[in-house]
Amino acid sequence: MTADRLTILHVYPRQMGVSGDRGNVAALVRRAAAAGLDTEVVEYAPGGALPTAADVVVVGNGPLSAMRSLGADVARIGAPLRDLAGSGVPIVAVGGGFDLATNEVVPTEGAPVAGFGVFDARAVRGAERRVNYFVLETRYPLLAGAATRIAGFEDHATRIELAAGVTPFADVVSGGGNQAGSPVEGAIVGTSFGTHTQGPILPLNPQLTDAVLAAATARVGREYTPDAARTETVDRYAREARATIDRYVDKAFKRIA
């Protein structure tokens, strides 16, 4: 955080941003503004200079073809991203971006694709494809009193195999999740999390946005205090959207053969 401005680093917005993932960046920007925090969004493209400092990193969803095309660049910036996560910078990795943030993506055909290695896990393609509303109880550390129930949408055919000791992002209430034997979803390392929850996840779940911003500001010795009066309208929209998901979660597609 420089001169009271939070830097949000958006990695591969063109290649890994096919599911409205800019909405996650927008949620961080607008939620921060409501708390009196200025932000700067820096977009990183393949071959560019990765910023040496950031306060939040966002990696969005994208197809396997995009991951393959990014191979050399992923190898180049993996270590700096791991360093950022290790220093307490929250990395939010969603969908294919979560897959890419593991150690490797194992396709049904062809060679594995090396990932950033932020999460000690691997993403194995070829699992049952899950297409459904998604309801979870998150394990990510939220602000005191915040609801742990989150909601979104999942659409993937990936099994996430977590290494021993890796904390899942959430427990599954309804949906597929990691599909690796336990009803859990995603992964957490430090203040970073990866998940297949789309929606986008942060606008749908403001308490999670607050938690990410709180982690980012705490790292630089600042306190993040949400302003409920300034976010009342968007909070109501998010509650109503989550209520709709709860209402129809058992009526949507659950899998595609």
Binding residues for substrate: 129
Whether 28 and 209 have beta carbons less than 8 Å apart is answered as yes
Distance CA 33, CA 125 (A): 39
CA angle, residues 17, 61, 75, in degrees to nearest 5:
95
Radius of gyration for the alpha carbons in the chain, expressed in angstroms and rounded? 17
How many residues does the structure list for the chain? 257
Distance CA 226, CA 11 (A): 26
Tokens (6 digits) for 202 = 């942060």
Give 205's contacts (C-beta < 8 A, 6+ positions apart): 150, 151, 152, 199, 238, 242
Q: Find the helix packing angle between 22-34 and 206-219, rounded to 10°.
A: 70
Whether 99 and 82 have beta carbons less than 8 Å apart is answered as no
Residues in binding site: 129
Whether 196 and 221 have beta carbons less than 8 Å apart is answered as no
